[in-house]
Structure formats: structure tokens, C-alpha cells
């Protein structure tokens, strides 16, 4: 059951990321006319998008912990900062942290790591394409 929930969360992450990328692309100036502006808007837009994704998973962890679907231990201090840190580490580094998870929530951690890896590489490709267009001679 938790694997299906994790799958659904990562699917929602991918769909949201797609529309977030479309938003960043719409806000970015033309790479041929304002190349540095295009790169900066793309970078800051991606930073905002990933921060929102990390915060969304922190909310998911708060709900799942409230439902008793696992526990966080180690250096976890039961604060929003702790949840945001845990979510961000799972998202960006495949879960290597001083916070330990137990119970069914571990599957969500694993799926978030997979989803984070996927959207981070997607974003890197997007940023690379913006830079490639902006840096053409």
C-alpha cells in the first residue's frame, strides 16, 4: 500500500514539475535577446520550483507521521525545520542523513529519493538547454 502511495506522490511530483518547468520557460526572457537574464531566471525559477517540491514532501511527512505510518529518529527534532531538512536531503542526496526513518514511511523516503533524482536531472537538462542557447556565439 505504501509503495502505491509513494508511486502516486512521485507521479504527482513529475506532473507538477512539468507544469513548473512550463512556468519557468514562460517567465524566462528570450535567450537570444537577453542571454544572461534567461539563465538567471531559469536558475532562480528552478530553485523556487525545487523548494516548493521539498516543502510539499515535508507536509506529506507531517501527515504520514500524524497517521502513525512510521517514525523518524536519530537527530530528528520533531520540528518543521527537521521535516524540511529530512525532505530536502531525501530529495537531493538520495536520503543520506542523520535522521533515521522506520516503518512504512521508509518506502515514501525511497520513492521521494527516486523522484528527486528524476526531477533534478530533468531540471539540469532544462538549465543546460537554456545555457546552450544563451552561450551560442
How much is the pLDDT for 78? 83
Give the 3-state secondary structure of residue 21: helix
| Count of positions (residues) in the chain | 137
Segment 6-34, tens digit of pLDDT? 999 999 999 999 999 999 999 999 988 89
2-134 has which fold?
Helix Hairpins (1.10.287)
pLDDT-above-70 percentage for the chain: 98
Mean pLDDT of 55-80: 91
Mean pLDDT of 63-87: 90
In angstroms, the Cα distances linking 93 to 65, 112, 120, 131, 134 are 22, 10, 10, 24, 29
- Three-class HEC string of 52-63: HHHHHHHHHHHH
For the chain, give every domain's residue range. 2-134
pLDDT > 80? residue 119: yes
> Where residue 95 falls among pLDDT bands split at 50, 70, 90?
low
Are the C-beta atoms of residues 89 and 95 closer than 8 Å to each other?
A: yes
Return mean pLDDT, the chain. 93
**29: nearest Cα among 42, 17, 38, 20:** 38
Amino acid at each position: 500500500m505504501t509503495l502505491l502511495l509513494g508511486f502516486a506522490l512521485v507521479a504527482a511530483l513529475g506532473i507538477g514539475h512539468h507544469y513548473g518547468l512550463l512556468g519557468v520557460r514562460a517567465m524566462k526572457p528570450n535567450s537570444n535577446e537577453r542571454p544572461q537574464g534567461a539563465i538567471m531566471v531559469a536558475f532562480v525559477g528552478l530553485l523556487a520550483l525545487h523548494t516548493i517540491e521539498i516543502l510539499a514532501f515535508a507536509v506529506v511527512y507531517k501527515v504520514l507521521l500524524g497517521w502513525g505510518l512510521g517514525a523518524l529518529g536519530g537527530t530528528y527534532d520533531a520540528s518543521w525545520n527537521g521535516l524540511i531538512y529530512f525532505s530536502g536531503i531525501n530529495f537531493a542526496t538520495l536520503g543520506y542523513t542523520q535522521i533515521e526513518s522506520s516503518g512504512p514511511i521508509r518506502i515514501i523516503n525511497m520513492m521521494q529519493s527516486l523522484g528527486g533524482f528524476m526531477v533534478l536531472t530533468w531540471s539540469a537538462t532544462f538549465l543546460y538547454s537554456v545555457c546552450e542557447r544563451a552561450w551560442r556565439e
